[in-house]
Amino acid sequence: MHKLILLLLTMSIYVFSCTDKDDPALKSAEGVLKKLEASTFMYGTHLLETDSGTIQYALKSKTVNLDLYNDEKVKVKGNLIDGYPVDGGPEYMEVKEIERINK
């Protein structure tokens, strides 16, 4: 009985310790985060742009406050959202993690 309890406890710890950070499906990208204003496509709250201003991704997040990173160089990790791009827009990413990049 003790071995079963120990096994269940160990399995529970393993399952709960696996987070999105370990998810190999997370895509990573670097660029300057911009608040989305007027656009020809109608999705996302923010954009990730290259240093030259080319849009890499439209972004949204349920877990990260992207407004805290406006106009900053960042590295984002997230999942691409199926069904995009549309209307000539960029790929669409649900951001799970973000970090500032020192220039």
CATH number for the domain spanning 43: value is 2.40.50.500
Residue 12 confidence (pLDDT) above 90: no
Least confident of 13-27, 66-80, 84-98: 13-27
Check residues 84 and 19 and name the one with the higher pLDDT.
84
pLDDT at 52 over 60: yes
Beta strands 27-35 and 55-60: pairing type?
Answer: unpaired
pTM value is 0.75
Residue 81 DSSP symbol: P
Q: What is the DSSP letter of 15?
A: H
Segments forming the whole domain that contains residue 43 = 24-100
Distance CA 72, CA 76 (A): 12
Q: Domain total for the chain?
A: 1
Q: 34 lies in a domain? A: yes
pLDDT at 95 exceeding the cut of 70: yes
- Indicate if the pLDDT at residue 7 is higher than 60: no
Is 6 inside any structural domain? no
